[in-house]
Structure 1
């Protein structure tokens, strides 16, 4: 039995589990900045997850299956996620940084690509972190089950990725969230903010984030300070974030409405992962998620 979107979004432990996920993703960035940036904007997230799904769906009996430029381009442009040129640049970047390589022995066109070990490890870690986040809601054993049977990801990831690509509610984040996530490294900034939430006090209209050093944060995420300040200013103009010390702008808060919208949007992805993983366990005869 998997969680619905509504069950996740309204779960009393969801905010604290999201903070856990944000911290886990931050740690992934610290240990592998370049690969973490592949998921750091929403467009790149959709490109990466779709590309990986195509790779896992490869069937030698089906001509043109697997990860090809044509296959990725057709899916991505159909859903208006990115242009043809953006898809081509994305593949070129993955090849340049050795996150992708030509399939061994593959000479026919369209050319088929496969992830390198770094990409395989990165995607596995991402899936593990998201399953561990779901486990915090019900004391489940999803992450342990994946660690014990890594092949479950090969079934679950394409199912999750295609659902997210086709679901407009995930493809199009709420405006307050999209302001960050449609920009380069914006997802890293949101993860950092969410990881700093102070959840010790009584629920109120503002959640304390603590001290934010924009200069240090921009340097850490390899983005310009001007770009980061522009993002924060736009968000503040909407009332989604603000500062307790308006003059110095160091101690930040986020609005309850911003957090609620972010939670509702993240619940879509986590419900998709939960359903896909439960389905993978069922078709492979794995035991129930409770440990």
Structure 2
């Protein structure tokens, strides 16, 4: 059985699981910054996951199936995630950095594209990390199952991506979380914050994050220091974050309300990942010994 959204959000280990996931994703950025940034804003996350789903859904018997500019544009604009021009620019960027290449064989219209090996590796690692985070909640073996049978992701990822794309509660993050997630590299900043949480040091609904050097953080994530400071200031104005050492602003806290918003939102994605993977195992005829 897979976890429901409510079960995840209420699970006593869920915050620790999210902290593990944030640390894992932050480490992936350190090993591949450019491709990690493809998932670093919510709009790019939706674009990337949808594009990958379309690739996996390719059926040579169905004209126009697979990942094309037309298929991605139609899905993305239908859910008002991005404009037609943004979709086109996104595809062009993937081609420029060779995260995507034209499909081999006879050129047909609309042109179909396929991810390169570096993209496959990154997406597989992302799904594996999320399954490992779920395993922490129930001593499951999802990550081992995927590592043993990598083709399960071909079934699971499209189902998960479509569930997330169609769920307004995932497409539209809570306001405090969305403040970061709708900006370039904002997801990396949130992952950094979540990875540094000290859950043993909560006081007056404030959770200690420790020292945060905005200058070093901006340089590491390749964003402007001014942009990052503006984000942090807006979040502080909402009461979602703050500093123990005003006016130096080096030792940060986040509010319990912000953490609860983030947990509730992440539960939507992780429930979709869990359900899709359980479905994929069943569809592939794989045993599911411990979920």
TM-score relative to the length of structure 2: 0.99
Distance 1:19 1:287 in 2: 29
Residue 206 to residue 289, structure 1, CA distance change in 2 (3 Å): farther
Partner of 1:49: 49
Measure, in 2, the Cα distance between the counterparts of 1:157 and 1:288.
18
2:138 maps to 138
Distance 1:70 1:93 in 2: 16
TM-superposed CA distance for 1:201, in Å, is 3.4
Would the aligned equivalents of 1:176 and 1:235 in 2 still touch at CA under 8 Å? yes
Q: Distance in 2 between matches of 1:194 and 1:106?
A: 47
Equivalent positions of 1:188-199 (< 5 A) are 188-199=188-199
- Give how far 1:204 is off: 4.8
Question: 2:102·2:114 contact (CA, 8 Å) conserved in 1?
Answer: yes
Whole-Å Cα distance in 1 between the matches of residues 256 and 15 of structure 2?
A: 11
Instruction: Give the distance between the partners of 2:216 and 2:16, measured in 1 at CA.
Output: 25
Residue 279 of structure 2 is aligned to residue 285 of structure 1 = no
**Residues 226-250 of structure 1: per-residue CA shift (max 9 Å, x gap):** 0000000000000000000011000
CA–CA separation in structure 2 for the residues paired with 1:16 and 1:106? 50
TM-score (norm 1): 0.99
Q: Secondary structure at the match of 1:105?
A: coil
Separation (CA, whole Å) in 2 of partners of 1:92 and 1:106: 21
Q: Distance in 2 between matches of 1:106 and 1:280?
A: 31
Cα distance, 1:127–1:151 mapped onto 2, change above 3 Å: same
CA distance in structure 2 between the aligned counterparts of 1:104 and 1:284, rounded to whole angstroms = 27
Q: SS where residue 200 of structure 1 aligns?
A: strand
How many residues of Structure 1 are paired with residues of Structure 2 in the alignment? 291
Q: Distance between the aligned counterparts of 2:171 and 2:234, measured in 1?
A: 21
Unaligned runs of 5+ in 2: none
Deviation at 1:202, TM superposition (A): 5.4
Report the equivalent of 1:172. 172
Q: Do 2:180 and 2:190's aligned partners in 1 also have CA atoms closer than 8 Å?
A: yes
RMSD of aligned alpha carbons: 0.9
Moved runs in structure 1, 4+ residues, more than 3 A? 201-204
More deviation, 223-232/279-288: 279-288
Partner of 1:261: 261
CA contact (8 A) 1:142 1:289 kept: no
Whether contact under 8 Å (2:41, 2:181) holds in the other structure is yes
Q: Does 1:116 align with 2:116?
A: yes
Secondary structure of the structure 1 residue equivalent to 2:201: coil
